[in-house]
Amino acid sequence: MTAWVSVTDRGFTVGRGAGLQAMIDPRCLEGTPVAGATATVCVAASATQALRFDEPEVQQARRDFMEHRATFLGEDLVCVTTLALDESRCAGAITVTRGPVTGRDDPFARLFPPRAFSTDAFCVVAPPAGPVVERYVGVPWPGGRFPPHPQVRLEP
Amino acid sequence: MSGAPHAGEAFPDLDLPDHTGRPRTLSELAAGDPLLLLFSRGWWCPKEQRHLRELSRLQDEMEVAYSRMVVVSTDPPEVQSAFRAGLGARYTFLSDSERRWLTHLDLLEETDTQHRPYRPTAFTLQPDLTVHRRYDGYWYWGRPSVEDVRRDLREISEIVREDFRR
């Protein structure tokens, strides 16, 4: 399953619409939505300004999120997802938190300017166990996992 | 005799709060990847500080090699957060401050009656939490080295990744 958001100067909408369209980790929309959350949206002004996921600054932003940001947010963190234009280009990230949170400390704000919006669209997705940053190509971080091996029991 | 499993046996699906206080399970943290699971005395132990600093060198490799790392100690989450930040760690710490799993696994460090911590023990686990190799680290040289972990994760990946050899 692929989930999309569309970002304009005025805000963002879930699904494909006007503005910059990007894929997000679909798990962020699959559970019970958290009402009154804040979405810190760090997004490129246009698709041409997107960065490659392999660029060191994108990799480091994800590492810093795991090392610092997710820890400091604690239970206030609802979910996080990068914004993927395609299999290789990153157009930013959305970090969803409970209550108002400044975007100044968001590592993805080093990539693209942060803007904060109130949202009721996203659900809780726990951050991944470290130190993984790489998953499937084209699957916005931190989403994606390998299918279970036939001999591997994943669900007890 | 320890109640913790040995190679080939299933490791229990630990349910503990992580370093942020968020409830987690071991199977959720493994998420389909090979897993290095470390039971640690705590932040105050110089051997633990040295060993975790050594294993943290593997982070950059593990994060691109689809492998996970989890540390369990009896430190409360806020202490683990500070220790983790000091290590520059991006992996998850689980807090068993109530010593619930410590008792179940029979991994009490009996020589330290002050802290009542875990006896240093490490496991490399398959994604389904089957123990691949166990390391009894009461003596420092019993703990897994970077080379041990790299070998184990290669062996596990070969088992669980169907396309490992082409």
Beta bridge partners of A11: A8
Chain A residues in contact with chain B using a Cβ-Cβ cutoff of 8 Å: 63, 66-68, 70-71, 73-75, 77, 126, 128-135, 145-149, 151-156
Per-residue pLDDT of chain A (156 residues; tens, 9 = 90+): 789 999 998 899 999 999 999 999 999 999 999 999 999 999 999 999 999 998 999 999 999 999 989 988 988 999 999 999 998 999 999 999 998 776 678 999 999 999 999 999 999 998 888 777 877 777 888 887 776 655 555 444
Low-confidence ranges of chain B (pLDDT < 50): 1
Task: Determine the pLDDT at residue B1.
Answer: 44
Task: Determine the pLDDT at residue A147.
Answer: 67
A63 → chain B, closest CA residue: B90
Task: Determine the pLDDT at residue A148.
Answer: 62
The distance in angstroms from the start CA to the end CA of chain B is: 42
Task: State whether B127 and A156 contact (CB < 8 Å).
Answer: no
Please count the residue pairs, one from chain A and one from chain B, whose beta carbons lie less than 8 angstroms apart. Answer: 95
Contact predicate A29/A15, CB 8 Å: no
B67 → chain A, closest CA residue: A132
Q: In whole angstroms, what is the distance from residue B60 CA to residue B66 CA?
A: 11
Task: State whether A131 and B70 contact (CB < 8 Å).
Answer: no
Task: State whether A129 and B69 contact (CB < 8 Å).
Answer: yes
Of B22, B63, B81, the CB nearest to A126: B22
Task: State whether B24 and A67 contact (CB < 8 Å).
Answer: no
Both tokens of A80, joined, read 């996080």
Task: Determine the pLDDT at residue A139.
Answer: 84
CA of B139 to nearest chain A CA: how many angstroms apart? 27
pTM: 0.88
B90–chain A Cβ distance below 8 A for any pair: yes
Q: Identify the helix (H) or strand (E) that includes residue B147.
A: helix B146-160
Task: State whether B126 and A152 contact (CB < 8 Å).
Answer: yes
Residue A119's nearest CA partner among A24, A2, A44 is A24
Beta bridge partners of A8: A11
Residue where the block lists tokens 């370093």? B19
Task: Determine the pLDDT at residue B8.
Answer: 96
Task: State whether B63 and A151 contact (CB < 8 Å).
Answer: no
Task: Determine the pLDDT at residue A145.
Answer: 72
A147 → chain B, closest CA residue: B32
Of B60, B91, B127, the CB nearest to A154: B127
How much is the ipTM here?
Answer: 0.78
Task: Determine the pLDDT at residue A129.
Answer: 85
In this structure, chain A runs to a length of 156
A134 → chain B, closest CA residue: B64
B14 → chain A, closest CA residue: A156
Q: In whole angstroms, what is the distance from residue B31 CA to residue B53 CA?
A: 24
* Omega before residue A107 within 30° of 0, cis: no
Task: Determine the pLDDT at residue A14.
Answer: 95
Other CB atoms within 10 Å distance of the CB of residue B132: 19
